[in-house]
Amino acid sequence: MAIDFVKVFDKFNSLNILIIGDVMIDAYWWGGVNRISPEAPVPVCAVNDKESRLGGAANVALNIAAMGANPILCSVVGEDYQGHQLCELMKKQNMDTNGIVFSSNRPTTVKTRIIGNKTQMLRIDEETDANISLSEEKIFLDKIESIINTEKINAIIFQDYDKGVITEGVITKIIEIAKRKNIPVTVDPKKRNFTAYKNVDLFKPNLKELKEGLKIDFDNVDKDVLVEASLLLHYKQKIDKVFITLSERGVFMMDFTKKEAEITMLPACLRKISDVSGAGDTVISLATLCLALGLDSQTIANVSNFAGGLVCESVGVVPIDKNKLLFELLK
């Protein structure tokens, strides 16, 4: 049966999506390079513009908002200038900052890209990857639980960047609450907490994360290998839908909620690739929105695959364009 994407996209407007994860500021310093430094054999970039954007889990929130849904972002940031700047950036996007907890024990993550003559020359990272303290974890969990109890939440996303905001304690407690309230949970994992995500509805590693998380290695990315890895995740971690992104090879999904496991494998959408940054954020956002509406696995994979391809046409980390995505799907 054909999917009416116009109706589906309209239904996105009624969804509240809770996003839990590591937020960051993606900073860009733009400039020109026309000489080498006399101090060392390095290019001199004369900066003429600076820009700060929401990144990490905050970029997932931007994607959710871009699709018309309401993102509720929960994270821990530093009690520093950048932490307050991040909240100001959220407010400019009409996002509620109620889910943000300030910590005096850690800096806000900032990734600064120096771009000279339209080429990225250097990236400077200011961050910690230490776990939040037990006292901060309790404050954070209380905040999230309060939001879940007072808002109608249609789905929860764990957007994990291994920066320490998501701990095993946070994962276990929130999944337990979600199961009790029948709220679907999706995960974009990283290495540290990979095996801690159990009993989730959709789990979206990329190939690198899959290999690191399961401690397996393979060169040929074929259907059989992906099926074997998915079975391992299903039986070890009780995951309903394993959704693996394969970069230029497309996407793979194995759905274990059916009587017989359903496999979907789609090639990548042919695009003029400018920048793959943030594509994973877009994919988990669209997959979660589609899952929250109860759409089938093939549709979830298809819509997410199209969306991930579209954002790769833009330079830097940018959210999806709802109208452009709808146009592509209707084609």
pLDDT tens profile 133-182: 999 999 999 999 999 999 999 999 999 999 999 999 999 999 999 999 99
The percent of residues above 70 in pLDDT, for the chain, comes to: 95
Quote the mean pLDDT of the chain. 93
Residue 37 confidence (pLDDT) above 90: yes
In this predicted model, what pLDDT tens digit does every residue of 239-260 receive, in sequence order? 999 999 998 888 999 999 988 9
3-class secondary structure, 214 = helix
Higher pLDDT, 196 or 271: 196
pLDDT, average across residues 221-241: 94
Q: Report d(CA 249, CA 271) in Å as an integer.
A: 12
Residue 278 confidence (pLDDT) above 60: no
Q: Report d(CA 238, CA 225) in Å as an integer.
A: 19
Q: Report d(CA 174, CA 172) in Å as an integer.
A: 6
Higher pLDDT, 219 or 31: 31
For residue 74, what are its two tokens? 């929960």
Q: 10, 281, 296, 321: which is the annotated catalytic residue?
A: 281
- Return left, alpha or beta for 255; rule: phi > 0 is left, psi -120 to 50 is alpha, else beta: beta
Residue 225 confidence (pLDDT) above 60: yes
Place of tokens 């995960």: 187
Q: Report d(CA 76, CA 196) in Å as an integer.
A: 20
What are residue 189's DSSP bridge partners?
A: none
Q: Report d(CA 108, CA 91) in Å as an integer.
A: 17
The answer to whether 281 is a known catalytic residue is: yes
DSSP single-letter state for residue 24: E
Annotate 268-303 with DSSP letters as a single string. PPP---S--TTHHHHHHHHHHHHHHTT--HHHHHHH
Higher pLDDT, 63 or 269: 63
Residue 184 confidence (pLDDT) above 90: yes
Residue 273 confidence (pLDDT) above 50: no
Residue 271 confidence (pLDDT) above 70: no
pTM to 2 decimals? 0.93
Topology at the third CATH level for domain 5-31+46-330: UDP-N-acetylmuramoyl-L-alanine:D-glutamate ligase (3.40.1190)
Going by pLDDT thresholds of 50, 70 and 90, the confidence category of residue 275 is very low
What number of other Cβ atoms are within 10 A of residue 221's Cβ?
15
pLDDT, average across residues 64-83: 97
How many helices and strands, by DSSP H and E, does the chain display? 10, 13
Going by pLDDT thresholds of 50, 70 and 90, the confidence category of residue 218 is confident
The pLDDT of residue 274 is 44
Residue 276 confidence (pLDDT) above 60: no
